[in-house]
Amino acid sequence: MPNGSYALIDYKTGQASVSAWLGERPDDPQLPLYAVNAGENVSAVAFAKLRTGEMRFDGLARNADLLPRVRGVDTHNAARKHAASWDELVAGWRAELDALGQAFAAGDSRVVPKHLLKTCERCDLQPLCGA
């Protein structure tokens, strides 16, 4: 980036949403995981959407305009409900991903579908898992 920091970009031809990075047990933690473990100073994460009729970046950044149309955390409607700044967002990702990793390493295998009806709607294993 012009300011000497780095942007993490994930090229997508399918659906992708910033909302999948937010909150507890994020649905799509790949870029947050890269961001918290990068050795470099990361100041933006974004999907580069390569879809007919939708060629654009969609992401979050420390400040607006680091990448075209990518907002700062403080002005992104969904993100600012979870963090007031980029640093707070990344700290939240670190805490959440550390907790998930520790639970996984400890063998936590409780059945806790994140969005019960939506998560389980196409699954036939309810009789086995008890959800």
C-beta closer to ligand SF4: residue 91 or 129: 129
C-beta closer to ligand SF4: residue 101 or 113: 113
Token reading at 29: 């933690």
Can residue 91 be called a binding residue for ligand SF4 (CB under 6 A)? no
C-beta closer to ligand SF4: residue 14 or 121: 121
- Whole-number minimum distance, CB 111 to ligand SF4, in Å? 5
C-beta closer to ligand SF4: residue 68 or 110: 110
Q: What is 63-125 written as a DSSP string?
A: STTSSTTPEEGGG-TTGGGT-SSHHHHHHHHHHHHHHHHHHHHTT------SSHHHHHTT---
Contact (Cβ atoms closer than 8 angstroms) between residue 76 and residue 45: no
- Whole-number minimum distance, CB 107 to ligand SF4, in Å? 17
Can residue 95 be called a binding residue for ligand SF4 (CB under 6 A)? no
Binding mask 98-117 for ligand SF4 (x = CB under 6 A): -------------x-x----
The 10 Å Cβ neighbour count of residue 93 is 22
Residue 4 CA to residue 42 CA, distance in Å, equals 9
Q: Residue numbers of the site for ligand SF4 (CB under 6 A)?
A: 111, 113, 119-120, 123, 125-126, 129, 131
